[in-house]
Structure 1
């Protein structure tokens, strides 16, 4: 479904989208970098409103959120599009390409949430939820206003501007935010983004909801202890109780580096535990 998007302004004969830090200047008939927002006749449209490509009931630990209602299950949904172009993306079929989808209204989605057995709420995941913003916002707001005990979770790259994030946070209970590296060149070359807005999002989210952080250690790219030390120090400077998930990389999409050495994973865990109370290894077994 196509609806008018939020967070844009006219810029001469173009559109300036300021939902995320890319600040795309979009010509008429063209898409932003996320491939989910299009300029048509002076109006910015979101083309993925309510468009669901993936839905599953997942353990909360799969998000991964190990310290938010552990042992529970949450209905997880995704759409298509992303404002990053990570060369190792594990969901590239829906993040990098327009994928077949089914429209689900927020009312019908709430019915599905409430009708799913042993479900605590909804998690926006699989693709980047921030560029699904209008639906995520409407859905989260509607669910929390009508059924406040239900949980709303975001699994996100954190590459969103402060204004839209502040508007959304009152309706979010927990977030897992990717901190892909502590090196801006890594963000630029492997992900098509920048690190500073992500750090700001982590700081802001940590004042509002439960936050856990995930870092994928990519062999030959960010799998060094200096990176882990800087990431751990940054998280600790906010709150040393924020959990860090250090995840093992496997070749995917356009990156064929070998899987992360398990010895490096265990060494990274030791370093991170010097600064943080909760450190988990992922994809290790």
Structure 2
């Protein structure tokens, strides 16, 4: 039994809880959530591992609709997206909970929260879109935790954004089932997918999930959607930074997704339950970047470190620096109004406006509240 999304919205809106689709009843009376491959099987009153999806009244409900852990205006490069509206501000937010169990989570105070008090800020979709427009943002990003778990809220916000000419951005681990994946990405304009490693062992031991569904999501985005997407891999010393694994990962991206998909290697710092590995040395990121470029990828970046070369975008035909980046601030712009190289006219893949944004590296907290019904 799958309730149509249009009929499910706002069933329990006053309590920030709404009915959902993507679940079915098991023979033993439990209800199975079908949003992600974890397939939580719940009795009445139980919550899934994600915490925000629960079993009530013999169905799966979302218990955090319209509630957020906070809103911030970030540079779009922080998501990271380097080929999507460069230099522009994006209104970013997340909720409590997550459907993965990453021991190295760097937003653990949000994604691992089991307290609804974490969800201090509130906004209905239209209010959130209006706030993004009012503050000069070009897009809204679902980030800090995975939007897969608040799929219904994210879709409603994306629709409200599109009514105002704004874009919707998903920052996700890509761990979801096929049917909700189609529904979700039908409403997204851009995504950054966290490809955490390239071994099932890593995914099983350090995230409590599996690699296969993530690779399926990446191939789906490339071959069956028009969503602009980029990939991020956090390199953790001693866990996923061996040259052989980086070679296999970047070869797969080039062969299965194509050389124009941007790949970001970012630096780890000890956090949450993984505090023994040291911070990622800059030379590890540079080595990973060189391996990926040697394997045919055109746009490979380093992140969480100061690296002008590793953060900049170069023309694949003439080699000129097209977009220079000093941390999250643009320092060079050699892209014409069509998104092409000013020197040789070669196409730069991505989504570009005639002029770059000027938001820079600022991060601005925004308070959004709505009145509760009743």
The answer to whether the Cα contact below 8 Å between 2:158 and 2:167 also exists between their aligned partners in 1 is no
Residue in 2 that maps onto 1:75: 91
Matched residue of 2:186: which SS?
Answer: helix
Please give the alpha-carbon distance, in whole angstroms, between the structure 2 residues aligned to 1:172 and 1:39: 27
Q: Specify the alignment match of 1:5 in structure 2.
A: 20
The alignment covers a number of residue pairs equal to: 282
- Which region of structure 1 is more displaced relative to structure 2, 193-202 or 133-142? 133-142
> Aligned partners of 2:111 and 2:279: how far apart in 1?
22
The equivalent residue for 2:367 is none
* Residue in 1 that maps onto 2:232: 214
In 2, the alpha carbon distance for the partners of 1:110 and 1:247 equals 30
Aligned twin of 1:280: 301
For the residues of structure 1 that align with 2:145 and 2:201, how far apart are their CA atoms? Answer: 23
Deviation string, structure 1 residues 162-188 (Cα, Å, up to 9, x no partner): 111111222211100000001011001
Q: What are the within-5 Å matches in structure 2 for residues 122-137 of structure 1? A: 122-137=140-155
1:241 aligns with 2:257: no
Larger radius of gyration: 2
Distance 1:249 1:140 in 2: 31
Q: Would you say 1:108 and 2:123 are equivalent positions? A: no
1:43 Cα offset (Å): 1.8
1:269 to 272, 289, 293: 289
- Unaligned 5+ segments in structure 2 are 1-15, 307-374
Q: Aligned partners of 1:142, 1:109: CA distance in 2, in Å?
A: 8
In the alignment, is the contact (CA less than 8 A) between 1:79 and 1:101 conserved in 2? no
RMSD: 1.2
Q: Does 1:28 align with 2:44?
A: yes
Secondary structure of residue in 2 paired with 1:212: strand
CA distance in 2, matches of 1:170, 1:193: 24
- CA displacement at 1:150 relative to structure 2: 1.2
3-state SS, counterpart of residue 206 of structure 1: helix
Is residue 274 of structure 2 the alignment partner of residue 259 of structure 1?
no
Question: 2:68–2:93: 8 Å Cα contact kept in structure 1?
Answer: yes
The alpha carbon displacement at 1:26 in A equals 1.0
Q: Secondary structure at the match of 1:152?
A: strand
Q: Secondary structure of the residue that 1:142 maps to in structure 2?
A: helix
* SS of structure 1 residue aligned to 2:131: helix
Task: Give the match's secondary structure for 1:140.
Answer: helix
CA contact under 8 A between 1:54 and 1:126: conserved in structure 2? Answer: no
Matched-pair contact (CA < 8 Å) for 1:223–1:260: no
d(CA) in 1 for partners of 2:138 and 2:126? 17
CA contact (8 A) 1:5 1:37 kept: no
Residues in 2 aligned to 1:156 and 1:222: alpha-carbon distance in whole angstroms = 19
Superposed displacement of residue 127, structure 1: 0.9
Deviations 1:16-71, CA, capped at 9 Å, x for gaps: 10000111111221111111111123121111111111211111100000111111
* Structure 1 unpaired stretches of 5+: none
3-state SS of 1:55 partner? strand
Alignment correspondent of 2:345: none
CA contact (8 A) 2:95 2:119 kept: no
Counterpart CA distance in 1 for 2:54 and 2:205 is 25
